[in-house]
Structure 1
Amino acid sequence: MSASRVCGLSELVQDEARRVEVDGVAMAVVLDGNGEIHAIGDVCTHGDISLSDGFVEGDTLECWAHGSAFSLKTGHPLNLPAFEPVPVYEVVIDGDDVLIDPAVTKASA
């Protein structure tokens, strides 16, 4: 598999998550307050809730339903009730294009 365009840089809003899907894999893409772009799995590991509907604060994304916050850098939950991490995907920027390959996670890159 190769990286696919998921959106343009100009389509991202700082400190907001955007839901994208690549090859059937749902992801939350975030432009954080430091200008870094992150991509993590979009499904909260505590419940079947879309993380992209949650709240971005610093380098975390909080599930709106039960309050578990996940690190955008590692995917690890920072508080309960979630205790399993979500995948974190490598992001490639090519001009204005944001590219992600769902087969390449930071753990396997």
Structure 2
Amino acid sequence: MEVIAPGEKKDLSGPLPDAYSPRYVEAQWYSWWEKEGFFTPEYGRPSIDAPNPNGNFVMIIPPPNVTGSLHLGHALTNAIEDAITRYHRMKERTTLWVPGCDHAGIAT
């Protein structure tokens, strides 16, 4: 594993591991993500009070189906909603999507 100074962008031109390893990937990228402010809701703005010229994106997590039973479709829906939210965040919009529980306390 190449040693990169914390907070510096990583070089991806070399060979990658054969299988995805979250520990390997995050050890190399996490400090850069923090330095760039990717975990702050006001990403791309000087403060939370400043209006975002790129707009806002808010997605409300819908409740489960009428049976109340969780199934594979819930995982698929959450993955799609996560991808859509990340897309809008990459477009530098202020985004809000909080996975967790719906109005009835059912995990979503």
Q: TM-score, normalised by structure 2?
A: 0.22
Higher helix share: 2
Question: Which of structures 1 and 2 has the bigger CA Rg?
Answer: 2
Q: TM-score, normalised by structure 1?
A: 0.22
Higher strand share: 1
